[in-house]
Structure 1
């Protein structure tokens, strides 16, 4: 997992989940969650344990506060799942261009998904669109302007 440093607490979030997290906790925690879970489905337990992934990311006190906030109805006993938006770190088109570029350089789908913080399914769908064909990195370009 990567890390992110945030110094400005006046960030406005367009995505409602991240806006809610920023309101309940702070912008730094919302950004950490977006950076580490963007494009993924994440589970917030009803009662996070010390040292769990969420506690390690945003601190145990913040994890407890966040999970308590989202624990309503059935989630009171079992927790809740959320889709964390990825668009905070770039437009969909920009992410697709990065997937294309990394595929051309020979990166695997898993490597691309991890590096960009997107779901592996996003990488697979972009590759299937036919815009991205993986080329061997040791192949000589016959038409290069060298």
Structure 2
């Protein structure tokens, strides 16, 4: 017997996606893009990243719900916060963008900005010094 979507404790957006496209599709989407915004096209073709990730039919169901919208995908089941922060810090140290660090760590972009500000002093290494020292 399948687990009812409401019993999983999914955030509303993921619950809507799970109702339309299935729980597996919602969790895959949260794992791959959780914490970031995605644009959902009005029509999903076979080569589109969303179709590749969750399947063409599931992607089309998501498109029916959110066609033409930018949707903030909530975080999925990502593990412990300390581990996620470590993964984010490593990604940033290797030159990843905030969005890329959010995707690989399962944290939100806002959390990555805060993490970078707290731990990194808020200044990127390639940014010049205002006083030229």
For the aligned pair, the TM-score class normalised by the smaller chain equals 0.5 to 0.7
Shift of 1:126: 1.1
Instruction: Name whichever structure is richer in helix by fraction.
Output: 2
Q: Aligned pairs, how many?
A: 115
Pairing 1:16–2:2 present: no
The equivalent of 1:4 in structure 2 is none
Cα distance in 2, alignment partners of residues 44 and 67 from structure 1: 6
2:131 — aligned with what?
A: none
- In the TM superposition, 1:1-146 aligns within 5 A as 10=3, 12-71=8-67, 79-86=68-75, 88-90=77-79, 94=81, 98-99=84-85, 103=89, 107-108=93-94, 110=96, 112-119=101-108, 121-129=110-118, 132=119
Q: Judge conservation of contact 1:17–1:84 (CA < 8 Å) in 2.
A: yes
| Structure 2 Cα separation of the partners of residues 82 and 115 of structure 1 | 18
Residue range with higher mean Cα deviation, 107-116 or 30-39: 107-116
Q: What per-residue deviation string (whole Å, max 9, x for no partner) do you get for residues 38-57 of structure 1?
A: 01100110111111001111
- Between the two structures, name the one with larger relative contact order (CA 8 Å, sep ≥ 6): 2
Cα RMSD, aligned residues only = 3.2
Distance 1:103 1:119 in 2: 13
* TM-score (ref. length: structure 1): 0.62
Q: Which has the larger radius of gyration?
A: 1
The gaps in structure 1 that reach 5 residues or longer are: 1-7, 72-78, 135-146
Secondary structure of the corresponding residue to residue 38 of structure 2? strand
Q: Sort the Cα spacing of 1:27 and 1:125 in 2 relative to 1 into closer, same or farther, 3 A.
A: same
Gaps of 5+ in 2: 122-133
Residue equivalent to 2:130 = none
**Secondary structure of 2:93's aligned partner:** coil
